[in-house]
């Protein structure tokens, strides 16, 4: 149980939270929401002991184990699976102890290590770390790759996996879905729903919050209010709370006016002085309920394209990639017409960004043909677009570079529509938050008046209000849209057709996002085989003497053999571990040495067999 009593938190000169009184019970999954700067990350810092309360108390269980996602990943030569496994320090230490004991042929130390592994449930530690990596999108062949060889986004995933590996009573996740693809987000949701500790998660993904949380903690104007239910429940309860607050305020104001009128009329009359005095006391005791302050709704728009031809852009039988040794997509055919709204689905690394870059023209097709209309004008938001903004300059400077001949007032009016009003247009972007920089990057794209928008993860760093505004603006856009996003709410509102990029192919997905998520949960290796199979569109029946069996996605005999091999090796390894755990066996040093070598050999074979099985599952 976590208790806040008259809790206040200040960062520098700003008072972020004050007079917070609430209790979070064990096992709750709490979504922490609020606008940028409301104090969400600072609250996490207080829970981890990094920030002292400015006032009041924060009580945590005495021996609570807290896990969180590190903000930075060290430049380590360690294999990825070892880095994740080190999140469970007890298991990692026991495995290291065992390895050292075998290396030194210290059989007594081997026995101690085995006993310790049994106590900390460490025999399946490597397998658990492998499942976490697999679920977060790391194919089996990169589990042994050095941490330092991964890019920034993939290192964030490694930090998430390490936090999930850490035994904890309280798990703190700050925007865990950033840098994840939709496949990994769906997997993470299922994992978190099975987590038996207390979860606090900061997220701007409303579908994720709806699927994971049991409570919502809303930070707003220095206050923190707890709501039961998921994000949709919170929206309904908050709307009702604000409605009742406004009704109470209006009634109170009417009573105030009535009392004040009586006092003004009769306070000077001796015969009514006592009644006037009584009403003055009542007036002073009125609660003073505040009126509901309407928050300024964020509204943005993409101007109408200068020209909008029907057939805009197409790929015909294209091989796409980065060279002969890095061919990602094979025989890709893809077309865009005015009004198309296409969402790209598939795991990271499958080629979604490669397809987008080929459509943009940043990558030339290795084979095949890319056809573009002469009036094609592309607005491209890539994952690196925010970093390309020039430090030390203002939003107005960026817009002036695009259109040096326009009057200052025209440029400032445009920036005002994207919530950079007044002097904000002259502020240096170095002080902007990630969400403000992303909004500026989108504004620069909109100013060019494109007829095709190619958006690769545009929602990273955007808060809920900005995501809603972006969804509304994209829904009103007349041109074509291709979007890659892990935000199902946004992609579901904007897109009306989906293409799946996986296995080197680009092909239409016949279904909606709910069906795609259900399909992800039911495919082999999903860790959730009991989820109902998604409904499918009825197929056209072709008359035949006997109906043909559906084509298998993988060879079932090969899969069965791989599973049997893993089970057989696990059985042999368990027998070997049981013998080594018996103190009587250490009377014969030669037998112990043979068992130790057998154990190492079996583990090596098991790791290879598991890697092959994971490859088949993928």
CA 330 to CA 321: how far, in whole Å? 9
Backbone phi and psi for residue 606, each to the nearest 5 degrees, phi listed first? -65, -40
Q: Would you state the torsion angle of the CA atoms of residues 563, 567, 570, 572, taken in this order, to the nearest 10 degrees?
A: -130
Low-confidence ranges of the chain (pLDDT < 70): 245, 249, 266-274, 276, 279, 283, 285-297, 522-560, 580-581, 583-590, 592-593, 616-618
Taking the C-alpha atoms of residue 120 and residue 351, their distance in angstroms, rounded to an integer, is: 40
To which residue do tokens 């081997």 refer? 110
CA distance 511 to 351: 21
* 78-82, long-range: CB < 8 A, 24+ apart: 78/146, 78/147, 79/143, 79/144, 79/145, 79/146, 79/147, 80/133, 80/138, 80/142, 80/143, 80/144, 80/145, 80/146, 80/147, 80/150, 80/158, 81/126, 81/129, 81/130, 81/133, 81/143, 81/144
φ, ψ (nearest 5 deg) of residue 331? 50, 45
What is the model's pLDDT at position 533?
36
pLDDT score at 528: 47
Q: How many residues does the chain have?
A: 618
Sheet of 170-174, strand order: 66-68, 170-174, 198-202, 29-33, 215-220, 223-228
Q: Are 47 and 61 in contact (CB under 8 A)?
A: no
Please state, in angstroms and rounded to a whole number, the distance separating the CA atoms of residues 178 and 156.
9
Could you tell me the two tokens for 276?
A: 């006037």
Q: According to DSSP H, which parts of 448-550 are helical?
A: 464-475, 488-494, 513-522
Residue 368's Cβ-count burial label (10 Å; 0-12, 13-18, 19+) is: middle
Task: Tell me the CB-side half-sphere exposure of residue 135, using CA atoms within 13 A.
Answer: 25
Secondary structure of residue 452 in the 3-state scheme: strand
| Nearest-5° Cα angle at 412, 407 to 417 | 135
Which residues are within 8 A (CB) of 260 and not within 5 positions of it... i.e. 6 or more apart? 283
Query: Rounded to the nearest 5°, which phi and psi values hold at 17?
Result: -135, 145
Per-residue three-class SS string for 178-226? CCCCHHHHHHHHHHHHHCCCEEEEECCCHHHHHHHCCEEEEEECCEEEE
Question: In what helix (H) or strand (E) does residue 615 lie, and over which residues does it extend?
Answer: helix 589-617
* CB-based contacts of 269, cutoff 8 Å, min separation 6: 276
Half-sphere exposure of 387 (CA within 13 A, CB side): 4
| Helix/strand/coil for 498 | strand
Asked if residue 61 lies in contact with residue 169, where contact means CB atoms within 8 angstroms, the answer is yes
What six digits make up the tokens of 326? 């890095």
């Amino acid at each position: 149980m976590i208790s806040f009593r008259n809790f206040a938190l200040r960062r520098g000169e700003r008072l972020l939270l004050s007079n917070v009184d609430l209790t979070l019970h064990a096992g709750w999954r709490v979504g922490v929401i609020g606008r940028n700067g409301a104090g969400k990350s600072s609250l996490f810092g207080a829970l981890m002991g990094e920030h002292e309360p400015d006032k009041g108390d924060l009580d945590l269980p005495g021996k609570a184990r807290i896990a969180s996602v590190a903000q930075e990943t060290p430049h380590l030569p360690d294999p990825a699976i070892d880095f994740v496994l080190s999140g469970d320090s007890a298991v990692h230490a026991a495995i290291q102890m065992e390895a050292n004991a075998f290396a030194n042929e210290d059989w007594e130390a081997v026995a101690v290590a085995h006993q310790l592994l049994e106590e900390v449930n460490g025999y399946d530690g490597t397998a658990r770390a492998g499942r976490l990596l697999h679920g977060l999108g790391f194919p089996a062949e990169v589990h042994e790759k050095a941490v330092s060889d991964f890019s920034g986004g993939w290192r964030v995933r490694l930090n998430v996996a390490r936090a999930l590996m850490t035994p904890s009573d309280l798990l703190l996740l700050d925007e865990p879905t950033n840098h994840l693809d939709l496949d990994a987000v769906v997997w993470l949701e299922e994992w978190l729903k099975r987590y038996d500790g207390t979860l606090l998660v900061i997220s701007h993904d409303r579908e994720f919050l709806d699927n994971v949380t049991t409570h919502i903690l809303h930070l707003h104007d220095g206050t923190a209010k707890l709501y039961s239910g998921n994000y949709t429940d919170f929206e309904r309860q908050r709307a009702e709370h604000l409605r009742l607050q406004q009704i109470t305020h209006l009634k109170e104001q009417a009573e105030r006016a009535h009392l004040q009128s009586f006092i003004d009329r009769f306070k000077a009359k001796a015969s009514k002085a006592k009644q006037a005095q009584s009403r003055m006391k009542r007036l002073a005791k009125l609660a003073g309920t505040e009126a509901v302050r309407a928050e300024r709704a964020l509204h943005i728009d993409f101007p109408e394209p200068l020209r909008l031809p029907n057939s805009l852009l197409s790929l015909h039988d294209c091989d796409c990639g980065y060279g002969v040794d890095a061919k990602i997509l094979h025989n890709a055919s893809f077309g865009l017409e005015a009004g198309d709204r296409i969402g790209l689905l598939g795991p990271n690394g499958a080629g979604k960004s490669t397809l987008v870059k080929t459509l943009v023209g940043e990558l030339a097709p290795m084979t095949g043909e890319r056809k573009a209309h002469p009036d094609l004008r592309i607005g491209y938001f890539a994952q690196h677009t925010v970093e390309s903004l020039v430090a030390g300059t203002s939003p107005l400077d960026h817009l002036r570079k695009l259109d040096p001949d326009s009057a200052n007032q025209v440029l400032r009016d445009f920036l005002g529509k994207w919530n950079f009003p007044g002097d904000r247009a002259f502020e240096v972007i170095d002080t902007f938050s990630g969400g403000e920089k992303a909004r500026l990057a989108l504004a620069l794209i909109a100013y060019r008046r494109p007829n095709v928008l190619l958006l690769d993860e545009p929602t990273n760093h955007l808060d809920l209000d900005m995501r809603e505004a972006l969804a509304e603006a994209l829904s009103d856009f007349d041109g074509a849209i291709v979007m890659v996003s892990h935000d199902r709410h946004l992609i579901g509102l904007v897109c009306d057709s989906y293409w799946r990029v996986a296995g080197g192919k680009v092909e239409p997905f016949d279904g909606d996002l709910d069906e795609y998520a259900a399909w992800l949960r039911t495919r082999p290796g999903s860790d959730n085989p009991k989820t109902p199979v998604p409904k499918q569109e009825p197929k056209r029946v072709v008359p035949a003497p006997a109906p043909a069996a559906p084509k298998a996605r993988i060879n079932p005999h090969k899969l069965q053999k791989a599973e049997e091999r893993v089970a057989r090796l696990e059985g042999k390894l368990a027998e070997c571990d049981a013998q080594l755990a018996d103190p009587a066996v250490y009377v014969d040093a030669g037998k112990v040495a043979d068992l130790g070598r057998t154990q190492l050999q079996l583990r090596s074979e098991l790791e290879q067999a598991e890697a092959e099985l994971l490859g088949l599952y993928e």
